[in-house]
Amino acid sequence: MKARRRVPVILLPAVLFLVAGCSAFRPEKQTLTVTCTPPDAIVMINGQRYESPVSIKVKRNRSVSIECYKEGYVPYDRMIGTHMNITGTLDTLGASFLFVPSIGLFYPGAWSLDETEVPVTLFQK
């Protein structure tokens, strides 16, 4: 009769780590690029001032406020929202079988910005 092998208890945390939500391992920030026409317009992203064009890293689980303006042009403002990405969706599905993947839903990696490339054309007054 063969002896049954038992998985050492020390491997249990390692297995839980491997099946933890994948969203926990995705980057917390995402690159957002705003390009204004005319190119020397001022861009405000979440209250921070930049010159166009600008590419910055922003938290992927937070909405982003964008304003563009230049003397003699009609100002532009917009809010970019977020949505649950495929990794977050998979963590949700995994959570229905095992609780541990739901941990990933508490991390920014489960979300993505609705847009990452924002072209803006300012119109003269």
* Cα dihedral 114/115/121/125 (nearest 10): 30
| Cα–Cα–Cα angle for 3, 8, 14, rounded to 5 degrees | 140
pLDDT per residue as tens digits for the range 27-64: 999 999 999 999 889 999 999 999 999 999 999 999 99
d(CA 101, CA 23): 9
Distance CA 27, CA 89 (A): 16
- Cα radius of gyration (the chain): 22
Query: Given pLDDT bands bounded at 50, 70 and 90, which one contains residue 89?
Result: confident
The predicted structure's pLDDT at residue 97:
66
pTM score, two decimals?
A: 0.76
Do residues 107 and 84 touch, judged by C-beta distance below 8 A?
no
